[in-house]
Amino acid sequence: SAVAKAELEAVGIQVEIYGRDQIEELGMEAFLAVTEGSAEEPQFIVMTWNGEPNSDKKMALVGKGLTFDSGGYSLKPSAGMETMNTDMAGAASVIGAMKALALSKVEKNVVGIIAACENLISGAAYKPGDIIGSMSGKTIEVLNTDAEGRLTLADALWYAVKEVKADEVIDIATLTGACVVALADINTGAITNNESLMNEVKNAAEIAGEPVWELPTNDDYKELIKGTFGDLKNTGGRGAGTITAGLFLQEFVDDTPWVHLDIAGTSHLSTARGYLPKGATGVPVKTLYYLVKERA
């Protein structure tokens, strides 16, 4: 949050940071459940760029901000934790895109939103089998505490739609290992409820050289995340993991045009490729930048 504030206020972006008390007041029960195992205070960060002050239209960019993810009680193997300090790549992408838009003085209104926290183990941590609430009022059965990013995003997306009143929403997240299995580190996975917005994202991604692959959202997939004891399950099981994670998020955007970008593979490279070094890639900062800039 300190980095976001320092980097973005310097270029004219308004930054608001909410701590645990304010997050509780907002009713973000899903986000708070993930934070319970950590001694670090969660931070909810709202970044506003008013590039077009005479317009009420605005796009929200929502980034997953897990600063470290152990998996919680559904513990990751140690080899799977080595790069989990990069589980905030979605949040970093939002900060980077916001800064680029402000530096270029792009005449569009954009609001960046990050729910930042750690997912750790303690006596207070949330557990498999818990049923938790959410800002939307929907209840969620926790089947796996390592499916935590979607819980933080659920409340962040609802905030974007209901509090910010965004006209369109893009979320960016290192969300599923299933996306890496399906697309490796070459294509970003995408889910949408609006093909027009999806086509704009694809066009921006092509300009940026950051390829995106849209995945199907047949209604049958939605059955996999229907809850037994709550409204939703936080995982749909082994099959179609990227799709069911995206459809879980769709439950928190109502009818607002929305695109979900799963950057689990593309945000980090194990070996250098082309102009990209080993490590963090910055994907999809350029895509987000061109998406907004092409409209200005």
Selecting among 76, 127, 222, 293, the annotated active-site residue is 76
User: Is residue 59 within 8 Å of residue 111, measured between CB atoms?
Assistant: yes
SS3 27: coil
Nearest to 88 by CA among 267, 242, 246, 211: 267
Neighbour order of strands in the sheet with 59-69: 14-18, 43-50, 109-119, 59-69, 168-173, 258-262, 188-192, 212-214
Give the separation between CA 261 and CA 187, rounded to whole angstroms.
10
Selecting among 58, 150, 202, 286, the annotated active-site residue is 150
Q: What is the largest CA-CA distance in the chain?
A: 51
- DSSP-assigned beta bridge partners for residue 169: 60, 258
DSSP class of residue 41 equals P
User: Is residue 72 within 8 Å of residue 125, measured between CB atoms?
Assistant: yes
- DSSP-assigned beta bridge partners for residue 250: none
Give the separation between CA 144 and CA 175, rounded to whole angstroms.
13
Per residue, what are the HEC states of 173-238?
ECCCHHHHHHHCCCCEEEEECCHHHHHHHHHHHHHHCCCEEECCCCHHHHHHHECCCCCEECCCCC
76 counts as catalytic: yes
Q: Within its chain, how far is the Cα of 249 from the centroid?
A: 9
Read off the amino acid at residue 160: A
Catalytic positions are 76, 150
